[in-house]
Amino acid sequence: MNPYVVIPYRDRANHLPILINALKATGHNYPVLVIEQEDGKAFNRAKLLNIGCYIAFSSSATHVITHDVDMIPTKETRYELGDAVHLASAATQFGGKMPYDRYFGGVTVFSLQAFQAANGYSNEYWGWGAEDDDMLSRIEAAGVPVKRVENNRFLSLQHKHALEDPEQKKLHAQNGKRWKEGYDTSKDGLNTLQFKLLAQKELEKGVLKVTVSI
């Protein structure tokens, strides 16, 4: 197995080295892709993850670990691989508990087969939140069993979320409504992904930052 870590990123220069050092301390030495969105648009975490997973799977990855930059593993954190595995079940920002039963965010593992079956993430989630819930529904719709690593602790770094835009909130609600209307995931996801590669920089051995326009 050859997993890659994919980190969606923008304006977290203080957090990134903390995560990179913590990942190295786990002893896994997984290749890391930092996918940086250029300024000018609302942050689109899901689309950045699609880009990172596309790059990883186009290389030699068998699995991807989608990893928020503010989720810091401890020496006891378990990185279990599988088709669809939710790892961040006990983040300190949620008191070491699941914030809600279907929480699927923070840190999640996908195999190539599972990611392709779900057609990746939706590209339509601009702004903060909701894309992980959508991805869980996509994985379930594709018939992929979901595993959760219980009591798997991550330390959460503090940061300020961007102010919620009412238009973004409305868009998220519309996106969620699609599932009640026979949502066809084949029309939105990995196979409709468009982006422009702006720059690549090796931050250190095994860590590549890719800046993109979306």
pLDDT for res 142: 97
User: Are the C-beta atoms of residues 16 and 68 closer than 8 Å to each other?
Assistant: no
Strand, helix or coil for residue 16:
helix
pLDDT for res 35: 98
**Could you read off the pLDDT of 103-127 as tens digits, one per residue?**
999 999 999 999 999 999 999 999 8
Place of tokens 């990855």: 61
38 pLDDT higher than 90: yes
162 pLDDT higher than 60: no
Tokens of 214: 């979306």
140 pLDDT higher than 90: yes
What pairs with residue 72 in β-bridges? 155
What the chain holds in terms of domains, given with CATH numbers, is 3-213 (3.90.550.10)
165 pLDDT higher than 80: no
Strand, helix or coil for residue 156:
strand
Nearest Cα to Cα of residue 65 among 17, 140, 77, 76: 77
141 pLDDT higher than 70: yes
User: Are the C-beta atoms of residues 30 and 5 closer than 8 Å to each other?
Assistant: yes
User: Are the C-beta atoms of residues 144 and 114 closer than 8 Å to each other?
Assistant: yes
166 pLDDT higher than 80: no
177 pLDDT higher than 70: yes
65 pLDDT higher than 60: yes
pLDDT for res 130: 87
CA dihedral 43, 128, 167, 120 (to 10 degrees): 70
**Cα–Cα distance between 115 and 37 in angstroms, integer?**
21
- What residues contact residue 126 under an 8 Å CB cut-off, 6+ apart? 41, 42, 43, 44, 168, 171
- For the chain, the distance separating the N- and C-terminal CA atoms, rounded to the nearest angstrom, is 30
Place of tokens 């300020």: 160
